[in-house]
């Protein structure tokens, strides 16, 4: 959740409760991820990365909700729920191809993913419209950082693959890498502008 760093005049008890809530969420996230990885010991590295991204995105959504409740004045008006929705949908979209086929056939799972992606895209556009100028700059800078890092890495990887130095990576694996780079880029862009 991106919120501006500004003086916080909340009582000490509220701050302590906020820190405890964040610590608890971090512990639960770590425990949940460790439990999933224990069950998924035979999973490919691409599925393991997708699970890590899903857990991270869902945890960010929950922490964003906590932030919105504890520091509502630091969240740009209209952005909080949209940011949470975008993170939740992204996390679910990473989980769906892995666990969806257990309950539904591949066509139904893929159709569900398409619907989720459309809803998330609309939420992202609404978020852009509701954001203030600083948040828009962070979003644009995140995209630029991610683009340049990924473009450079893709070129080097493609050259190494063409030379037979590395194996081919699936599109699923590349998507996990893309999201990991994007999350790191968003943290860097937000930190540069004093947003936490």
Q: Which residue has the tokens 């340049």?
A: 148
**Nearest one of 23, 29, 25, 82 to 55, comparing CA atoms:** 29
The SS3 assignment for 176 reads helix
116: pLDDT strictly greater than 50: yes
Q: Is the pLDDT of residue 110 over 80?
A: yes
Tell me the Cα Rg of the chain. 18
- Predicted TM-score (pTM) of the model is 0.73
Burial 130-156 (b: 16+ CB within 10 A, else e): bbeeebeebbebbeebbeebbeeeeee
Give the alpha-carbon dihedral of 170, 100, 178, 135, to 10 degrees.
Answer: 170
pLDDT at 121: 94
Angle between helices 45-70 and 80-99 (to 10 degrees): 160
**Rounded distance between C-alpha atoms, residue 180 and residue 183, angstroms:** 5
Q: Do 96 and 116 form a contact (C-beta atoms < 8 A)?
A: yes
Digit-coded pLDDT (tens) for 129-148: 888 888 888 889 999 999 99
- The whole-number average pLDDT for the span 165-171 is 90
């Amino acid at each position: 959740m991106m919120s501006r760093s500004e003086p916080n005049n909340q009582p000490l008890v509220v701050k302590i409760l906020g820190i405890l809530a964040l610590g608890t969420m971090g512990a639960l996230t770590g425990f949940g991820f460790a439990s999933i990885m224990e069950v998924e010991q035979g999973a490919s590295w691409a599925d393991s990365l997708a699970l890590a991204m899903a857990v991270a995105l869902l945890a960010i959504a929950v922490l964003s909700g906590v932030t919105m409740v504890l520091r509502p004045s630091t969240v740009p008006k209209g952005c909080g729920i949209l940011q949470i929705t975008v993170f939740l949908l992204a996390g679910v979209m990473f989980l769906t191809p892995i666990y969806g086929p257990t309950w539904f056939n591949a066509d139904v799972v893929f159709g569900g993913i398409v619907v989720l992606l459309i809803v998330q895209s609309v939420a992202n556009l609404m978020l852009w419209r509701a954001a203030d100028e600083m948040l828009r700059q962070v979003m644009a800078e995140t995209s630029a950082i991610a683009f340049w890092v990924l473009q450079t890495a893709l070129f080097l990887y493609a050259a190494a693959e063409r030379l037979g130095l590395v194996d081919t990576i699936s599109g699923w694996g590349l998507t996990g890498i893309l999201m990991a780079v994007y999350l790191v880029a968003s943290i860097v862009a937000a930190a540069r502008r004093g947003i936490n």
